[in-house]
């Protein structure tokens, strides 16, 4: 027998980070939720507007809160499942501090408006590189630990960790291809439809491989631990694992149903999404059945209470997800609050409650004591559960209501409701939702207090002693099954998982990139002018895409409300695409020419003056800030590298054209008695908004018939 020590200190630090970022991320979420019905709370200050707070919220809860929760659980369980200390303490600490620095850098840059404009991948290229490096450090540490393990078999939880590591690496790298323009500005390598496909391949699999598979790994470790009995069926867990990673990777296009994405890709996404029910529910049942004959414990133990609700929420959202990828259901769910309800069942229920349960389990054990107050933990459980319900029900309600209102016609065949009416109608739902979120956050703060008290009465066991026999190399006389070979060799496992996920990724992405007929070109679609390009970057900086879509689906009501439905060929110069995923405000795909320049000017200064009752925040700084014309040449060159056909040497002439167009817009505003410096940011933004969706109108009629 060998004697060795588990490293608990790293687990402690990741646990602290989980609690800290959890509270911070939820606070940002609550603030964003309040802004939706009280736009004045943005305080007319750029960093605190919804468009910037929302990415801070999503990034904080996904990568900071759940990220640190994953690392807490992995660093605790991996050592114990491998019967060894982590491979390198130094790597553990580089991982910890590196990740926290990335989080801080992310928060600062997002507040300052540095963003790539791609949901859940908003961070700019230097941070993307830092993430890659730290992720590699994490990987070396995992595989080093696996290599020096004292346990022959690799338990299923570790498979989930391996699949997580390799897939997140692949997703992050593929989706982050971007051309740097300056230190904190870049353009996505891909454009329009292709960018959308890569982004949602990434986006959906970030849900799959960051919010699901690692947490399932934690479930397979901590649930049996807390219930003190092995998992219901190990066979089922193997099927769960392989089926889940194989099928998940294909499901991304269900975020793009009815868009300009080629039809075959949409159908592919739907089919695989529906298939996903099987492994997901297999996993959920495996978790719940583990508690068979132990339900009396659930009544006593807050840890199990949290786990049971978490696994149930996993089952609910993985049933709901496939339903939402059916096209007829998606027609209602997409762009509405239904999606918000869906992700919060997953986020608050599955991720949040797994994290809480795990922390309640770990802290007393790491500090060699018992929980300070079981009653307080039970109260947290109920408060959190009620919080989820009070959050989700109003969002389902408002999602259905608004989608129905959007689609309602009068007998005369006119749209019955103005867009704004559909928003003001659901404001009570938004208020209720924020109450639900506040309850949930209160619960989380109660947990922090409870755990702080627990920590105070215990004494921390930094190095936990353990004993195990070293692993002897055995030679089997009989031929082994292939899976036993794989399951003992972490590297083989890594490669097999990579192949499995890469097949799905390649098949889904490659054809859209390479087959010409998938993106029919439209001859009248031209590159943006330099001024429009600068305006577009302001649009991206302010996070307009968090509330406005640029994608008109081929529905009667949308065509009536917004104009001709969007075509794939219209987005070929959009690096990045800005289709959006939620319509808190109306679609902007064809807003060009709809209003005079002065309307946009006044609307940005004071949205409520132009549309009374609007929930849009004001953007007064756009009227004062100057356009960063120094960046124009670099931006043009970057676009040329990406294949946008600006003439040779145009980078040097671009600013001349920019100023000319700006003068025209300033002169136009003058006619409406608005005087503005022609180099104000508002001028660029107006130029961009007035361009949106207008190219296609210049197209000769016979040509559109051919397309």
Partner 1 sequence: MKFIHYLEKITGVSIFPLTSFVIFSLFFLVMLIWILKADKNRLKEISRLPLD
Task: List, in order, residues 6 or more apart from 288 with CB less than 8 Å away.
Answer: 308, 311, 312, 315
Query: Is there binding between residue 319 and partner 1 (CB under 8 A)?
Result: no
Dihedral over alpha carbons 192, 193, 198, 203 (to 10 degrees)? 90
Dihedral over alpha carbons 177, 183, 185, 186 (to 10 degrees)? -20
Closest distance of CB 221 from partner 1, Å: 5
Which backbone phi and psi does 5 adopt, to 5 degrees?
A: -130, 135
- Exactly one of 507, 667, 671, 698 binds partner 1 (CB under 8 A); which one? 507
Q: Which is nearer to partner 1, 18 or 497 (CB)?
A: 497
- Exactly one of 520, 593, 613, 643 binds partner 1 (CB under 8 A); which one? 643
Size of residue set near partner 1 by CB under 8 A: 44
Q: Which is nearer to partner 1, 242 or 599 (CB)?
A: 242
Determine how many CB atoms are found less than 10 A away from the CB of residue 481: 9
Query: Is there binding between residue 646 and partner 1 (CB under 8 A)?
Result: no
Q: How far apart are the first and last CA of the chain?
A: 74
Query: Is there binding between residue 637 and partner 1 (CB under 8 A)?
Result: no
- Exactly one of 94, 393, 420, 642 binds partner 1 (CB under 8 A); which one? 642
Strand, helix or coil for residue 187: strand
- Exactly one of 477, 478, 514, 705 binds partner 1 (CB under 8 A); which one? 514
Site for partner 1 in 274-293 (CB under 8 A): none
Considering just the CA atoms, what is the radius of gyration of the chain in Å?
A: 26
Site string for partner 1, 44-83 (x = CB under 8 A): ---------------------------------x--xx--
Nearest to 703 by CA among 564, 521, 553: 521
| Sign of CA pseudo-dihedral 628, 629, 630, 633 | positive
Looking at 6-14, 344-352, 499-507, 688-696, which segment touches partner 1 (CB under 8 A)?
499-507
Alpha carbons 60 and 110: distance in angstroms, whole number:
11
The DSSP secondary-structure symbol of 409 reads: B
Nearest to 127 by CA among 59, 80, 193: 59
Question: Within a 13 Å sphere around the CA of 400, how many CA atoms are in the beta-carbon half?
Answer: 5
Strand, helix or coil for residue 228: coil
Q: Which is nearer to partner 1, 264 or 449 (CB)?
A: 264
Q: Which is nearer to partner 1, 221 or 562 (CB)?
A: 221
Closest distance of CB 360 from partner 1, Å: 17
Closest distance of CB 643 from partner 1, Å: 4
Angle between helices 213-227 and 156-175 (to 10 degrees): 160
Task: List, in order, residues 6 or more apart from 465 with CB less than 8 Å away.
Answer: 3, 4, 5
Cβ atoms of residues 10 and 89 within 8 Å: yes
Cβ atoms of residues 534 and 654 within 8 Å: no
- Exactly one of 126, 144, 180, 511 binds partner 1 (CB under 8 A); which one? 511
Closest distance of CB 471 from partner 1, Å: 14
Determine how many CB atoms are found less than 10 A away from the CB of residue 583: 22
The secondary structure element, H or E, covering residue 180 is strand 178-182
- Exactly one of 1, 3, 228, 299 binds partner 1 (CB under 8 A); which one? 228
Site string for partner 1, 184-213 (x = CB under 8 A): -----xx---x-------------------
| Sign of CA pseudo-dihedral 378, 380, 383, 389 | negative
- Exactly one of 104, 515, 559, 671 binds partner 1 (CB under 8 A); which one? 515
Task: List, in order, residues 6 or more apart from 512 with CB less than 8 Å away.
Answer: 193, 194, 197, 261, 262, 265, 518, 519
Closest distance of CB 412 from partner 1, Å: 46
Q: Which is nearer to partner 1, 140 or 502 (CB)?
A: 502
Closest distance of CB 317 from partner 1, Å: 24
- Exactly one of 516, 673, 701, 706 binds partner 1 (CB under 8 A); which one? 516
Closest distance of CB 310 from partner 1, Å: 17
- Exactly one of 519, 654, 662, 665 binds partner 1 (CB under 8 A); which one? 519
Closest distance of CB 477 from partner 1, Å: 16
Q: Which is nearer to partner 1, 97 or 482 (CB)?
A: 482
Site for partner 1 in 431-490 (CB under 8 A): 481-483
Dihedral over alpha carbons 376, 379, 385, 390 (to 10 degrees)? -120
Alpha carbons 158 and 479: distance in angstroms, whole number:
25
Query: Is there binding between residue 659 and partner 1 (CB under 8 A)?
Result: no
Q: Which is nearer to partner 1, 40 or 649 (CB)?
A: 649
Q: Which is nearer to partner 1, 491 or 506 (CB)?
A: 506
Closest distance of CB 111 from partner 1, Å: 33
Closest distance of CB 228 from partner 1, Å: 7
Cβ atoms of residues 28 and 57 within 8 Å: yes
Site for partner 1 in 131-160 (CB under 8 A): 151, 153, 155-157
Looking at 16-24, 238-246, 625-633, 648-656, which segment touches partner 1 (CB under 8 A)?
238-246
Q: Which is nearer to partner 1, 229 or 407 (CB)?
A: 229
Alpha carbons 399 and 421: distance in angstroms, whole number:
14
Query: Is there binding between residue 427 and partner 1 (CB under 8 A)?
Result: no
Angle between helices 427-457 and 9-37 (to 10 degrees): 160
Looking at 225-233, 296-304, 359-367, 397-405, which segment touches partner 1 (CB under 8 A)?
225-233
Q: Which is nearer to partner 1, 242 or 555 (CB)?
A: 242
- Exactly one of 229, 365, 407, 637 binds partner 1 (CB under 8 A); which one? 229
Query: Is there binding between residue 239 and partner 1 (CB under 8 A)?
Result: yes
Query: Is there binding between residue 510 and partner 1 (CB under 8 A)?
Result: yes
- Exactly one of 214, 224, 347, 436 binds partner 1 (CB under 8 A); which one? 224
Looking at 131-139, 229-237, 409-417, 657-665, which segment touches partner 1 (CB under 8 A)?
229-237
Q: Which is nearer to partner 1, 26 or 219 (CB)?
A: 219
Strand, helix or coil for residue 2: strand
User: Tokens 């830092």 belong to which residue?
Assistant: 130
| Token pair listed for 528 | 């943006």
Angle among Cα 519, 524, 527 to the nearest 5 degrees reads: 80
Alpha carbons 158 and 165: distance in angstroms, whole number:
10
Using CB under 8 A as the criterion, which residues of the chain lie in contact with partner 1 when the complex forms? Answer: 77, 80-81, 151, 153, 155-157, 189-190, 194, 220-221, 224-225, 228-231, 234-235, 237-239, 242-243, 246, 481-483, 500, 503, 506-507, 510-511, 513-516, 519, 641-643
């Amino acid at each position: 027998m060998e004697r060795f020590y588990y490293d608990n200190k790293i687990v402690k630090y990741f646990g602290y980070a989980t609690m800290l970022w959890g509270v911070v991320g939820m606070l940002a979420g609550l603030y964003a939720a309040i802004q939706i019905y009280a736009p004045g709370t943005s305080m007319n200050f750029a960093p605190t507007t919804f468009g910037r707070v929302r990415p801070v919220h999503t990034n904080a809860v996904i990568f900071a809160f759940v990220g640190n929760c994953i690392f807490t659980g992995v660093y605790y369980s991996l050592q114990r499942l491998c019967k060894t200390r982590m491979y390198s303490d130094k790597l553990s600490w580089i991982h910890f501090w590196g990740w926290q620095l990335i989080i801080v850098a992310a928060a600062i840059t997002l507040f300052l408006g540095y963003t790539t404009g791609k949901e859940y991948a908003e961070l700019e290229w230097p941070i993307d590189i830092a993430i890659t490096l730290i992720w590699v450090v994490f990987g070396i540490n995992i595989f080093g630990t696996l290599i020096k393990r004292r346990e022959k078999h690799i338990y299923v939880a570790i498979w989930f960790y391996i699949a997580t590591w390799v897939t997140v690496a692949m997703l992050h790298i593929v989706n982050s291809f971007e051309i740097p323009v300056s230190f904190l500005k870049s353009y996505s390598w891909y454009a329009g439809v292709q960018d959308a496909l890569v982004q949602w391949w990434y986006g959906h699999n970030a849900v799959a491989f960051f919010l699901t598979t690692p947490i399932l790994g934690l479930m397979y470790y901590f649930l049996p631990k807390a219930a003190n009995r092995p998992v219901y069926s190990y066979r089922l867990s193997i099927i769960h694992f392989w089926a889940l990673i194989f099928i998940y990777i294909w499901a991304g296009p269900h975020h793009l149903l009815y868009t300009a994405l080629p039809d075959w890709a949409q159908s592919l996404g739907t089919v695989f999404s529906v298939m996903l029910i099987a492994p997901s529910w297999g996993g959920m049942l495996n978790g719940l059945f583990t508690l068979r004959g132990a339900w009396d414990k659930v009544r006593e133990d807050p840890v199990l209470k949290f786990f049971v609700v978490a696994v149930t929420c996993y089952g609910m959202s993985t049933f709901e997800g496939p339903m939402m990828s059916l096209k007829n259901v998606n027609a209602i769910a997409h762009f509405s609050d239904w999606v918000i309800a869906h992700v919060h069942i997953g986020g608050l229920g599955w991720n949040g409650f797994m994290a809480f349960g795990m922390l309640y389990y770990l802290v007393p054990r790491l500090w060699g004591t018992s929980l300070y107050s079981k009653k307080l933990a039970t109260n947290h459980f109920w408060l959190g559960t009620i919080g989820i319900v009070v959050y989700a029900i109003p969002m389902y309600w408002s999602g259905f209501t608004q989608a129905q209102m959007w689609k309602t016609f009068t007998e005369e065949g006119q749209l019955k409701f103005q867009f704004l009416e559909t928003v003001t109608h659901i404001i009570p739902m938004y208020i209720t939702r924020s109450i639900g979120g506040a309850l949930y956050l209160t619960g989380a703060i109660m947990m922090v207090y409870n755990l702080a008290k627990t920590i105070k009465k215990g004494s921390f066991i930094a190095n936990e002693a353990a004993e195990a026999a070293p692993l002897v190399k055995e030679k089997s006389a009989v031929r082994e099954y292939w899976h036993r070979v794989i399951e003992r060799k972490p590297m083989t496992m890594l490669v097999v998982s990579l192949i499995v996920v890469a097949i799905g990724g390649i098949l889904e992405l490659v054809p859209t990139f390479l087959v010409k007929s998938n993106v029919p070109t439209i001859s009248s679609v031209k590159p943006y002018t330099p001024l429009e390009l600068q305006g577009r970057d302001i649009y991206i900086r302010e996070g307009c895409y968090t509330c406005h879509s640029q994608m008109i689906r081929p529905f009667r009501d949308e065509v009536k409300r917004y104009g001709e439905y969007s075509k794939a060929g219209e987005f070929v110069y959009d690096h990045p695409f800005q289709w959006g995923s939620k319509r808190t405000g109306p679609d902007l795909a064809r807003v060009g020419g709809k209003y005079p320049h002065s309307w946009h000017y006044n609307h940005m200064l004071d949205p409520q003056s132009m549309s009374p009752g609007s929930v849009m925040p004001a953007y007064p700084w756009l009227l004062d800030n100057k356009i960063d014309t120094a960046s124009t040449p670099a931006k043009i060159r970057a676009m040329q590298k990406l294949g946008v056909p600006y003439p040779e040497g145009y980078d040097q002439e671009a600013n001349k054209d920019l100023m000319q167009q700006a003068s025209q817009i300033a002169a136009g505003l003058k006619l409406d008695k608005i005087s503005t410096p022609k180099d104000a940011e508002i001028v660029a933004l107006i130029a961009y908004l007035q361009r949106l969706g207008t190219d296609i109108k210049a197209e000769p009629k016979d040509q559109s018939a051919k397309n």
